[in-house]
Structure 1
């Protein structure tokens, strides 16, 4: 099975992160999920929430408020919205403002991860994000003086450097030959995955990742390290906000 196929659905967003509109045929349709032949809705994962959007069919609109992953990808319709019948061709639109903000946020987290690993040697122990806000946990035993300001300044310097963000899909063996490809304390890539999607902020951070990203660091905007919290001995949580 290829990396861009989930059940019966071809995942379009993995190869074209800027795709917002597409057509597809309905394979299954129920109040708890609609299955399409192809989809650009990011289904959620790696801390990035699922996309929202709409399906348009025969003059009718169905709002999509999430995605459920199972044997297929099930687009979750808003409660009470009409359901397109099986076999219907739908025009789908991913909510652009939300997706674009999440792409900026996700890429911002990778910049943060790259800076903290480069400058302090700390691995990620957890993370999560919402629209233009996020948090990332690190195995950082001590917080040096001026750490918050130093990390924020370094992140924004990397943004101003306008580093290119490349996406590659590599055979598992080739991907894991890249030094420090896993930046988490625990390897979260399942052992039976034959291909690995790699996000490369050229010159800063290269790691396995399945989410959506902007094309260069300058598109992120500005990172503010809003807060640093202690999460037990040796673990620190950094909360960030993204702005224009």
Structure 2
């Protein structure tokens, strides 16, 4: 019998939908949470989109009514992390609209060249050598080095294309030390999500389809985990792991929400 959880932290792609494809089980799962008035937050490593854009996609394309305050991106988590440092004011950003908006919302001044107090990097599909050069110089001059997430690839209709981790590696090769990584599987985004829902680690359940990101993020944050085999991870592979998820289901339709 599953424990009763006060809140759910939920991955998106592969869990609630698959790219542009609807997953009815994801929609039904969220509807059950709404019916039982259980708190939930969509937690995504995607830093390219604003929470408003993520919410609009869920609402319009997947029939899951969502507001921006129900979304927590790695870009938002990165901005929250830097906001806790009194000495960070100027940020050199290598990224897209989601990360830019998150940093501006926290009052940071965005700069395109050194000097800077921090270099914040995420997926940037317009990355250039000049951007990497400026980030390298800023870090060499003492700027903090912070990355949204380590995802090496992203699944698309064209295949597995380079993810944020590929862009991060471009810069990380040129500097020391290694970046502070914010997104899953690290616990910084998890701690931010728990804070956003006003929950402690033992009150929440992390739900996702990827053992190496979603489930390991739960492990690192000491949060119980539910692995759904609707996306990346495969049973035979996960079965060989030393540490197992708290729960496993083939479909979110198989999960009973205790309340």
Give me the TM-score of the superposition, normalised by structure 2.
0.22
Larger radius of gyration: 1
Per residue, is there more strand in 1 or in 2?
A: 1
Give me the TM-score of the superposition, normalised by structure 1.
0.22
Per residue, is there more helix in 1 or in 2?
A: 2
